[in-house]
Amino acid sequence: MQKVLVTGASVGIGRETAVLFAKQGAQVVINYNSSEAEAGETLRMVEAAGGKGYLAKADVSDDSAASALIHEAVRLMDGLNVLVNNAGITRFIPFDDLDAVTSDDWDILYKTNVESIFFCCREAAKVMPEGSCIINLASISGILPRGSSIPYSVSKAAIIHLTKCLANVFSPKIRVNSVSPGVIQNTRWNAGNANFNLEKYQSGTNAIPMKRLGNPSDIASAILYLASDQASYITGVNLPVEGGMSVK
């Protein structure tokens, strides 16, 4: 049985990932920071899907909190063999408005998006058994110069390289890969995004060869694959799941 910790699992991709693992009979720790009500709904969905779920509040951008979360997950499930680092934030700043980017923007995005992954991975590697895996959520914004802001785009690029570094360090005991979602509908991030043109993406003619927006389930399915035995020889890989945007 898989014993899974999903950070930032209260909504969106994190929630869909938790539920999909639950459908496979997994135990799932649902991490959240501030969205307690939404996390509770994810827990109900996990249990309805046939999995065993647990809630765990923690701000994973804090080193000590991230460490405590890993050990809490191990305590709740009596082990941990899949870690999905999904927690992240953004700031919505047009790319060409460089003067609007502050030091605080850089600090908070790197701390939450990049350092949190490092903290969780470092502690998880101490307790995960051989054959375990880690999947980090990056973004098409880490490959292409687009997205909600330049600091966000750069932080996602850093996740891709951090994934490769950790795959090298943790091999052969633990596999580490990342997934880079494209434009995903039904997420709260798109609301108010200064760089998100819904009509452009819905048309599919300019940006997405597959002619549709992505869904959280598209990303969750890729995560499930990377955590499966079918991906047992894959590590250090970034998997774009973006309908062909990076080749357009």
Active site amino acids: 152
Q: Cα separation of 161 and 154, whole Å?
A: 11
